[in-house]
Structure 1
Amino acid sequence: MWQAGPLAFAAPWLLLALPALPVLWWLLRVSPPAPKSQTFPALRLLQDLPPTEETPHRTPWWLLLLRLVAAALLIVGLARPVWQPQSGGGGTGPLLVAIDDGWAAAPDWPARTAAAVAALDAAGREGRRV
């Protein structure tokens, strides 16, 4: 876990995607080439009609900014930020230990029970200090 002040990231390697945002900006600014228009003789009657829909030449700056901010927030969110992480349980109330005893827990059952016993022992020691 990488920590920067009160904020820590559980997957800090995902933050390496943030410098790629200028590349995304460049890709979003590139617009596809205009399609070639071919006149079809039967459509000459419709040629003088005004177009009902026009496509802008470039993406508006506010939409581009919104997309880049959304991409940056997605990258930071995938890095799993944790506000003020604590190493221990840190609680002062009762301790609840829930253990999954299904068949999927069988391969690491000794490790699960050892972790539960260690958590109970730590809570017992802290409880005796009070």
Structure 2
Amino acid sequence: MNSWLRASVIGATSLAFGGIALAGTAQAATAGFFNADGVGIRTCATTSCTVVGRGYRLQTFNVDCWTDGTNIGGSTVWVRGRNAATGVYGYSAAVYVQSSGNGTPGSGDRWRYYAPHC
């Protein structure tokens, strides 16, 4: 096999496996939904941050990660994501975002198991 052809095959193989590796590292959002009306979607995980939108009962909130913030209802967990109905992206107190999995309603700490830390 000539060196040009060998380099092409090796390069294509590297790109193929590199693409697979990169695709595997992407983190998919975890679907949840708001369990109350008028839930603030904020620029950061504290109540002093600007409200950029609101979530309403049963609207889907696609969570990409969780972080600690202001204590709301006994939980400091906040989730970051996008309201599927409005497109607004930001943070909401996790006690107001129900996981679509086996989470307990209103149990914000459960998001630690469903989404990565921000």
Q: Return the structure number with greater relative CO, CA threshold 8 A, min gap 6.
A: 1
Q: Give the shorter-chain TM-score range.
A: under 0.3
Scaled by the length of structure 2, the TM-score of the pair is 0.26
Scaled by the length of structure 1, the TM-score of the pair is 0.24
More helix by share: 1
